[in-house]
Amino acid sequence: MTNSPFTPGIVPARLDGHVLQENFSDLHAPLDAHEALVAADRCYFCHDAPCITACPTSIDIPLFIRQISTGTPEAAAKTIFDQNILGGMCARVCPTETLCEQACVREAAEGKPVEIGRLQRHATDTLMAQGVHPYSRAVATGKRVAVVGAGPAGLACAHRLAMHGHDVDLFDARPKGGGLNEYGIATYKATDGFAGAELEWLMQIGGITLHKGRALGRDLSLDALCAEYDAVFLGMGLGGVNALRAAGEDRDGVLDAVDFIADLRQADDLANLPVGRNVVVIGGGMTAIDAAVQSKLLGAENVTVLYRRARAAMPASRYEQDLAASKGVRFIFNAMPVAILGNGVVTGVRVEYTRAEGRSLVGTGETFDIPADQLLKAIGQTLTGAPDALALEGGKIAVSGAGRTSASGVWAGGDCAAGGEDLTVTAVAQGRDAAEDIHASLMG
């Protein structure tokens, strides 16, 4: 190995292959059958269970946990999939610490919730490992629906529509389906090609044809889709990223964090992936945390997350922040970049402290410099390529009810639609609910 964490610049192979493999292995080991029984035993099977209300897909959590404790994890999986067909991925990526597990009565009583996420993974993995797809299609309706975007929203919508007997053409601009499950989620949350395996499993329902490399706005138009299909669902996510608006943003070494993560997710060999010695990540959401943690795991010597507000305002949960800190990531709060330093290539970031003035943030005038050979921007994504015909709200597609857009016969859900929380599980819920609404309107 010629490189190490101390090698200057952006270089590959800072760590040995076996260390990289270890670093990017499963964040939480799966529960074995005995551990699952013990974990399930902690559930009180509450009446009016608060964990169900806290789950955006309203999974009957006490029921599936009881099914695990009675030795029928396959039945538990079916309970989960009835509400959330991507229950396997959500078991891995949901911020359970701010959703079901935060609401669990045992969290309130003892500060130690029932491990709902790990139990969900145990159940869904058990059924999926058997290659079983527990749904079949209703009698064909003869109706055809176009779904644009094969991310969590589009997949949940397509699956539910196919189950109801409709034929679905699923279009995605990228060479692989799965959306951010395939290109965005941190490597250590969805290991061993799980996103691809889950997609294949979901497609076993039949009646869904996936057209890869087909983009709305480039290869397809909304007018043509509306003319050819009985309904259209848009689940195209957020393809653009916000600009930093700091001088020097065009220097070499400045990269969008989502692109860095997509390269990482698609890398055949992590040792070939270059990373800086001093990495600075700008932002405060899950993307910032994931980019920072993965830079550190690739062997960067110093990784710093710069967030312009106080810790309490950070969109990433405290659990995610602590995970990053445990890997050696440093946080600087109340600080914003004002200039990217360097001559052609980034060498550092000039940072100014901030303070809140009413509802806005202002610089305090006090600045300092941090060395950086790589700067990753994770300051939010934006909607690109939304058809002109659709009304927007806050930069996203305006929707009412179960994802109805301003155009008749066109629904939208997931990150591209206004009002969501930009989580995998909310995208699934919205795709599923739009499918039910489409079904009702086609059959009404």
Residues binding ligand SF4 (CB under 6 A): 43-46, 49-51, 61-62, 65, 104-106, 114, 116
Q: Out of ligand SF4, ligand FAD, none, which partner does residue 292 contact, by CB within 5 to 8 A per kind?
A: none
- Judged by CB under 6 A, the chain residues 143 through 182 that form the site for ligand FAD are 148-154, 171-174, 179-180
Residue 233, beta-bridge partner list: 147, 411
- The distance of closest approach from Cβ of residue 76 to ligand SF4 in the complex, given in angstroms and rounded to an integer, is 13
CB nearer ligand SF4, residue 51 or residue 372 = 51
* Spatial CA neighbour of 381 closest among 267, 249, 285: 285
Residue 101 interacting with ligand FAD (CB under 6 A): no
Residue 66 CA to chain centroid, in angstroms?
28
Alpha-carbon span 217 to 234, nearest angstrom: 12
Alpha-carbon span 137 to 280, nearest angstrom: 49
Residue among 237, 337, 342, 387 that touches ligand FAD (CB under 6 A): 237
- The distance of closest approach from Cβ of residue 113 to ligand SF4 in the complex, given in angstroms and rounded to an integer, is 6
In contact, 320 and 94? CB cutoff 8 Å: no
168: tokens are 């679905």
Alpha-carbon span 394 to 159, nearest angstrom: 29
Q: Out of ligand FAD, ligand SF4, none, which partner does residue 290 contact, by CB within 5 to 8 A per kind?
A: ligand FAD
Q: Give buried/exposed letters for 88-108 (b at 16+ CB in 10 A, else e).
A: bbbbbbbbbbebbbbbbebbe
Residue 64 interacting with ligand FAD (CB under 6 A): no
Dihedral, CA of residue 429, residue 208, residue 388 and residue 382, to nearest 10 = 50
- The distance of closest approach from Cβ of residue 174 to ligand FAD in the complex, given in angstroms and rounded to an integer, is 4
Q: Give buried/exposed letters for 351-389 (b at 16+ CB in 10 A, else e).
A: bbbbeeeeeeeeeeeeeeebbbbbbbbbbbbebeebbee
- The distance of closest approach from Cβ of residue 356 to ligand FAD in the complex, given in angstroms and rounded to an integer, is 27
* Spatial CA neighbour of 423 closest among 95, 49, 38: 95
- The distance of closest approach from Cβ of residue 69 to ligand SF4 in the complex, given in angstroms and rounded to an integer, is 11
**Rg (Cα) of the chain, in Å, rounded?**
23
Q: Out of ligand FAD, ligand SF4, none, which partner does residue 173 contact, by CB within 5 to 8 A per kind?
A: ligand FAD
Burial of residue 1, with CB atoms counted within 10 A of its CB: 0-12 exposed, 13-18 middle, 19 or more buried:
exposed
Q: Out of ligand FAD, ligand SF4, none, which partner does residue 330 contact, by CB within 5 to 8 A per kind?
A: none
Here's the x/- map for ligand FAD, 393-432, by CB under 6 A: it reads as: ---------------------xxx-----xxxx-x-----
For ligand FAD (CB under 6 A), the number of binding residues is 39
Q: Out of ligand SF4, ligand FAD, none, which partner does residue 57 contact, by CB within 5 to 8 A per kind?
A: none
- The distance of closest approach from Cβ of residue 44 to ligand SF4 in the complex, given in angstroms and rounded to an integer, is 4
- Judged by CB under 6 A, the chain residues 316 through 375 that form the site for ligand FAD are none
Pairing of strands 410-412, 396-397: unpaired
Contacting positions for ligand FAD (CB under 6 A) = 93-94, 148-154, 171-174, 179-180, 184-185, 189, 215-217, 235-237, 239, 258, 261, 286-287, 290, 385, 414-416, 422-425, 427
